[in-house]
Amino acid sequence: MRRQSPADVIELVLAVLLLVGSLSPWITISFLSVNGTDTWWGIVTLFGSIALAFHAVTRLWPGSFDSTIAGVSRIGALVGLAASLAILGYVGVRLVEASRQFSTDIGTTEARVTDDTSGLGEEFDDALEEFTQSLTELLDPRLALGWYLSTASATAGLVLVARSSRNDDELPPPVLNQDL
């Protein structure tokens, strides 16, 4: 018989958080938000959350499932969470690159515009620079709360599942009274 572990409940909570993070916005650009499940990337993290939840359920109620299913659920959770983290890392890196590229492009445009308007006066140049800066800040893509929630819950879930094994919480055999 297996002892209930708080880590199993935490895995279930992390699965719910990963589910919420998958359905929440990952990227924001001004007033526009892109949810994780708007692309296939979010579907991968959604399946990772389902795999983690199933693994937690097989550990919370071990008698309800065959032992081979419980073993496969651990492998499925590891694969699902690793794939989720790979996708989340890819999205994070690509967004940072896009943000840098956007800032560079705006800076290049600003330099060209400043060169062209040098005869219009310093106040006009300052106003144009301020407008360009506010436009850059407004349209600069950013990672949203859903991405951070998904990344944190997938990372913590992967650590918990990797630390667990099929037999780590087995109760010791009963001690028989040897007073005879």
pLDDT of the residue at 119: 53
Query: What pLDDT sits at residue 170?
Result: 45
* Res 139: pLDDT: 60
pLDDT at 102: 66
Separation between Cα atoms, residue 180 and residue 162, nearest integer Å:
45
Q: Are 71 and 62 in contact (CB under 8 A)?
A: no
> Consecutive 10-residue runs of the chain (180 residues): their mean pLDDT?
77 94 86 81 93 92 80 91 94 84 60 51 64 60 88 94 66 54
Instruction: Give the pLDDT confidence score for residue 2 in this predicted structure.
Output: 58
Quick one: 110 exposed, middle or buried, by C-beta within 10 A (0-12, 13-18, 19+)? middle
pLDDT score, position 17 = 96
pLDDT at res. 175: 58
- In whole angstroms, how far apart are CA 23 and each of 42, 46, 140, 147, 177? 7, 8, 22, 10, 56
pLDDT at 172: 45
Looking at residue 78, its pLDDT comes to 94
* Interval 4-20: pLDDT, tens: 788 889 999 999 999 99
Backbone angles phi, psi at 77, to 5 degrees: -65, -40
Which pLDDT value is given to residue 96? 83
